[in-house]
Structure 1
Amino acid sequence: MLDAFSAPGQFWRGNLHGHSTMSDGRIGPEEACAAYRDAGYDFTCLTDHFRPKYDYPVTDTRPFRSEGFTTILGAELHAPETSRGVDWHILAVGLPPDFARPTETESGPQLARRARAAGAFVAIAHPHWYQLQPEDGVALDAAQAVEVYNHTSFVHTDRGDGAVFLDTMLSRGLRLNAIAVDDSHWKNGDAFGGWVMVKSKTLDPDALLAALHDGHYYASQGPEIHAITREGDEIAISCSPASAIILVGDVSESARAHGTNLTRARLPLERFKGGWCRAVLVDALGRRAWSNPLWP
């Protein structure tokens, strides 16, 4: 939580999960990248479905980089099968273009480990959407983050929230961070609803990927987190105008401030010692921002 704000550099806005006509998206890779660039994003990652029906694409978006806008290569990986008997959905950001297709016997956790070993930032995709179970999250031991919000899952099935799954994993002792994504397929307004703000010195794909690995980011639907610092036994948070600034932790533990146009709060850490907490901001429109967890 704290490193994201103390690290040198600036925050860059990006989408880490999206699709194109290289798999089941409605628009081509160039158009998808241009849409994010024109919407004011600094970077995007097209993560087309790494399946045999699409010939296992790692969509090459390098030709669509420009001054002030860049891309990271990636894919959404699949393998049989979760505890519910359905295929895994594993987000891999920063894959090499020649990432090898899965073998017939490779499991989801094995595929995730191989992606991580190849340099990718690995995240658990839309756990609420396909009712991923806690035992699956534990098995996916290469994962570094959970999609705390997936905009397409919200738009299409009202299952966009991954916070309960994230908190379950944290309470089991897993050190996982939080990302928000679009999972854009360019259908029914499923873009521009959730993103990450990544702290890096430069807008270089390798620098952005390193920052993701280091946890130097926060997730948002709109609110901005300007700073989070520890001051003794308190957490100090400054932000864009909010109606609630909250620390949530294990079971029902929380500390919170409510008001109108709040731009800062100091919240006690005492009740979270020995466990974890994470910050959530809510603005007047109900949009949220999420920090990564802190273990006091």
Structure 2
Amino acid sequence: MNYLIRFCISFLCLASLSIYAHAQGLFNPFEQAGSWHKAALHVHTTTSVGDVNVAESIARYKSKGFEVVFVTDKTKTNDLSGFSNEKFLAINGLELSTTTSPCHFLCLNTPRDLKFVNDIPAQQLINEVKRSGGEVIIAHPYWNNITLQNLLELQDYIGIEVYNAVCDNGTARGYSDVHWDQLLNKGRYLPAIAVDDTHKDGRIVALGWILIKTKELTVEAVMNSLRSGSYYASSGPIIENLKIENGFVNIKCSSAVQINFFAAAHLGRVFRPKDSNSLTQAQWKLSSNCRFVRAEVIDAQGRHAWSNPVLIKSTDIQSDKLKKRNRGNNVKQNK
């Protein structure tokens, strides 16, 4: 019994360290140097369930302003040689599932020869994708009827899909923001992506994407930004800036009919235009028990944009006056 208790405590400690380590690696992209790149992360072709072949799919996304496309066919990778250049990246990936979990796994930057048996344990699948140099994102949690417990049982995936266009248009189960908030409230400070998940309907293209911030357009830089959450997700609106300053979270964005802030548990705030038809900025005063904050922008067409969670330090919610007083006290103590 004592051995079992020690094992459980050790497991919980390791899980907590993993969560903490990932949270410490999250960056606010609006505070990072670099350029924005439009990226599609969940794309199928005729290699599996898509409507066009690889070349046509990439051409379609390039025509819509995308600079990064992950081709993520089910169980099979593709030969993407010749599609990338200094202004565009085509990156291999997979969508995988296993009989041991209800989750679908969006595997990014996977090698051509990566294969799995269909009854591989889900955590082993994630581990092996990471060992191969790739990363895993949980695909369409709402559509798959994924529970919070399912998500908490797994470690080391780097995000979830907050919006999936094919699930939204096909079954009205494309938004997984509740799953995301439940994870955040449990201390899993993960970023989230918006995707098309292109299948046979050619109209579902450029309905969900991320704007990723990198210093250079390389596979390594893109993967590092994905790991650190240095991006925001969108199905239409633009987030121009998001920052925490003097105890407030501030956002600037394209024309919106609603701006939402979400923090831990019941904390949050909704902003709607008062004297006009739209708003392009909002400011919300953070309370002392806010551990994180994320923003959501909704435009007149009902399209959304989602910032990733910004972790809040105690100094973020102090007034300038209190910060100066604390600095003065530190100077006195040093003397």
Query: What's the TM-score, normalizing by structure 1?
Result: 0.90
Alignment of 1:246 onto 2:260: yes
Cα distance change on mapping 1:2 and 1:267 into 2, 3 Å: farther
Alignment of 1:201 onto 2:199: no
Name the amino acid aligned to 1:156. G
* Residue from 60, 72, 75 that aligns with 2:79: 60
Whole-angstrom CA distance in 2 between matches of 1:89 and 1:200: 27
Which piece of structure 1 moves more, 192-201 or 241-250? 241-250
* Residue from 280, 283, 294 that aligns with 2:299: 283
| CA apart distance, 1:97 | 2.3
Whole-angstrom CA distance in 1 between matches of 2:118 and 2:111: 21
Alignment of 1:182-201 (within 5 A): 182-187=196-201, 189-201=203-215
Alignment of 1:95 onto 2:110: yes
| CA apart distance, 1:247 | 0.7
The residue number in structure 2 matching 1:262 is: 279
Where does the alignment leave 5 or more consecutive residues of structure 2 unmatched? 1-25, 313-335
Name the amino acid aligned to 1:39. K
The residue number in structure 2 matching 1:38 is: 63
1:86-127 deviation line (CA, Å, top 9, x unaligned): 5x310111112232x224652122101211232223111000
* Residue from 107, 115, 120 that aligns with 1:106: 120
Name the amino acid aligned to 2:255. P
Alignment of 1:206-245 (within 5 A): 206-245=220-259
* Residue from 133, 136, 142 that aligns with 1:122: 136
1:9-31 deviation line (CA, Å, top 9, x unaligned): 11100110010111111211111
Higher helix share: 2
Equivalent residue of 1:17, what SS?
strand
| CA apart distance, 1:67 | 5.1
Query: What's the TM-score, normalizing by structure 2?
Result: 0.80
* Mapped contact 1:222–1:288 kept (Cα < 8 A): yes
The residue number in structure 1 matching 2:73 is: 48
Cα distance change on mapping 1:293 and 1:184 into 2, 3 Å: same
1:181-216 deviation line (CA, Å, top 9, x unaligned): 010114162221110000012222221111111210
Equivalent residue of 1:184, what SS?
coil
| CA apart distance, 1:2 | 5.6
* Mapped contact 1:59–1:75 kept (Cα < 8 A): no
Equivalent residue of 2:137, what SS?
strand
* Mapped contact 1:144–1:175 kept (Cα < 8 A): no
Alignment of 1:80 onto 2:105: no
The residue number in structure 1 matching 2:28 is: 3
Give the structure with higher Rg (CA).
Answer: 2
Whole-angstrom CA distance in 1 between matches of 2:31 and 2:200: 36
The residue number in structure 1 matching 2:157 is: 143
Cα distance change on mapping 1:269 and 1:119 into 2, 3 Å: farther
* Mapped contact 1:233–1:268 kept (Cα < 8 A): yes
Alignment of 1:293 onto 2:309: yes
Higher strand share: 1
Which piece of structure 1 moves more, 1-10 or 165-174? 1-10
- Percent identity, aligned pairs only, is 32
Whole-angstrom CA distance in 2 between matches of 1:93 and 1:130: 20
Whole-angstrom CA distance in 1 between matches of 2:96 and 2:165: 19
* Mapped contact 1:152–1:191 kept (Cα < 8 A): no
Name the amino acid aligned to 2:105. I
* Mapped contact 1:193–1:221 kept (Cα < 8 A): yes
Where does the alignment leave 5 or more consecutive residues of structure 1 unmatched? 51-56
| CA apart distance, 1:66 | 4.2
| CA apart distance, 1:261 | 3.0
